[in-house]
Amino acid sequence: MLYRPRMDRLTAFRLFLRTLDRGGIAAAGRSLGLSPTAASRALRELEDALSARLLDRTTRHVAPTEAGRRLAARLAPLLEGLDTALVEAREMHEEATGTLRILARRSYALRHVVPHLAAFRAAHPRVEVDLTLTEQTGLVPAHGVDIVIRLGLPAGKSFIGHSLASGRRILCASPAYLARHGAPATAEAVLDHPCLTYREAEEAPVWVFATATGGRQEITVSGPFRSNSGEALRQAALDGMGLVLLPEWMVGEDVAAGRLTALLPGLPAWPERYQAEIHAVHARAERIPAKITAFVAHLRTKTT
């Protein structure tokens, strides 16, 4: 019957190889914290389990038998590979290393993730980044994905989320558009303007405005352009095609630079179902790999 080693046999295997390296059982045992008696007993138990004599013993010398030489030739690379694997596994929790697989909302990643990758790699050169961009919602870490950058937090307690950007949305238009058509003074006046909207299946686009009493006012808007890409809507607004309601993280710089003008600034608004913050989400675990914690910390210092 083939001998199948238990976990405690690993010590015996290491002891056997050390005995050949040190030329004696006592010296090999000491290197592993074993007494000469315990080391000798462990080697005999290994020989009994294998039904083979591995060592020729004399009072002055220990040498491998033919079976011992063959076993040593096979064991040495296996144990070396095991030791390497254990070190790498430990380093992945203690030092950022390995491939970091990220799945991210396209618009956010292009503006607030990709520009920071070079600095992250400079700080953590042993990490390789594999980034996939998507416009899908409801993403969770699965199927080999370490981090998901998404709108809002997934349900359940299996994941940990880290806020990267606020959920504030800005209603805005280009100065050129406003010069031609004027600005809406109320939420209802938005209906008098062409609106650039995010496409959500075949549903009519709805913009939600907060009311002074803490309620909400839903307005179904329409316009000449719909898209599943926030970047496309932003560009259409810059080109003067109409009003747009987009995240602050996407158009905040445009507003600050005067390329877009914020409208109804005292009236919070958001597209239906698009009010949440942007989060970096990873699986909950007792020990989070260092590559994940390092990347999340890096993004948070750059974006919050």
Q: Is the pLDDT of residue 5 over 60?
A: no
Q: Is the pLDDT of residue 122 over 90?
A: yes
**Residues 137-153: tens digit of each pLDDT:** 677 777 688 999 998 88
**Residues 207-247: tens digit of each pLDDT:** 999 988 889 999 999 999 999 889 999 999 999 999 999 99
pLDDT band, very low/low/confident/very high, at 86 (cuts 50, 70, 90): low
What is the mean predicted confidence (pLDDT) over 33-39? 83
Give yes or no: residues 265 and 184 share one domain: yes
Q: Of the candidates 112, 84, 125, 145, which has an alpha carbon nearest to the alpha carbon of residue 292?
A: 145
* 270 vs 77: which has the higher pLDDT: 270
How many residues does this entry show for the chain? 304
pLDDT band, very low/low/confident/very high, at 100 (cuts 50, 70, 90): very high
Give yes or no: residues 129 and 75 share one domain: no
What is the mean predicted confidence (pLDDT) over 182-199? 94
Q: Is the pLDDT of residue 262 over 50?
A: yes
Instruction: Please tell me the least confidently modeled range out of 54-58, 102-106, 146-150, 164-168.
Output: 54-58
Give yes or no: residues 57 and 203 share one domain: no
Please provide the average confidence, as pLDDT, over all residues in the chain.
87
SS3 string, 241-294, reads CCEEEEEHHHHHHHHHHCCCEECCCCCCEEECCCCCCEEEEEECCCCCCHHHHH
- The number of domains in the chain is 3
Q: Domain residues for 206?
A: 169-271
Residue at 79 is within a domain:
yes
Residue at 290 is within a domain:
yes
| Contact status, residue 55 vs residue 19, Cβ threshold 8 Å | yes
Residue at 281 is within a domain:
yes
Give yes or no: residues 84 and 104 share one domain: no
Q: Is the pLDDT of residue 90 over 70?
A: no
